Structure 1
Amino acid sequence: MNVQFINPFIIALVNVLKTMAQTELKPGKPQKKSDPKAFGDVSGLIGMVGTDLKGSLSITFDESLALEIMHRMLGEKPDKINEEVADMVGEIANMVCGGAKMTLSEQGYDFGMATPVVVTGKNHTINHQVDGPRMILPFISDAGKAYLEICFDK
């Protein structure tokens, strides 16, 4: 997968969480992924379609990190993942995808974004509806781990 597609998503995720939730993410080593099993507890998934590309993005958070982001963004800290936390994860996916979309459009890649879908629960799965390689990028923070999955047909 072309790094010019991946970097805008990494930069957008780091910036969104730093700006909106005062949370620093440190990226780990990107890897190819073939298993649909998510590594965390709550995932926001968003599809992207353009004239010359099709892809999807998911951002998965450990429960501890999702709850801490909720606390830092909204001042609330539920005991477990609930509907409000799920909505927040969907909105984060939307902001990250929107930020990457702006950068990629400057490089000549335009695409539309679907409404985010949120999946929760231990051992949930993420099914990218795109025929292409999947990359997973782990991130570490002071409150837990996050995982960015990107799949493009290019």
Structure 2
Amino acid sequence: MAHSQQCTCGLEGHDHDHQHTHDHEEHKGSFVSVSTHDQSIVGTYRFELLRSYEEGSTLLSGLLKDAGEKVTAAGGIIGHIKAHMTSVEKGCVISVTDEESDLRPTYHNVCNVEGVAIVFGITTEELEDILLESLPIA
């Protein structure tokens, strides 16, 4: 089915075919993919948080908790919802003019997040909707 026909993934103006796994490429390297494995529904995700490590870890904890609450509210059972977050906060810019060196620190408030949600008792579509609503992917 073409993307524009009955698609609820939240991406406008993208043409791609839906597969049974409902894979969706997102903007800026972010994505969510949902599939089945044995009796479980497995959702994987990757996105950036434009926050410092401290802010990002606090925010991410709340986002994952929200996703878990939505899975439970939908009648699902949480097997595992987890994420790995990394951050490279510090850098520098070095400029040389007239044999003088000027070093200026830079701060990058970006955290990269990759994770998985393994749940039972809901559909792939329900998990996909939960991840897209709970996490800053769309």
Query: Same fold, TM exceeding 0.5?
Result: no
Please, what TM-score do these two structures have when normalized by structure 1? 0.34
Structure with more strand by fraction: 2
Larger-Rg structure: 2
Tell which has more relative contact order, 1 or 2 (C-alpha 8 A, sep 6+).
1
Report the TM-score when normalising by structure 2.
0.37
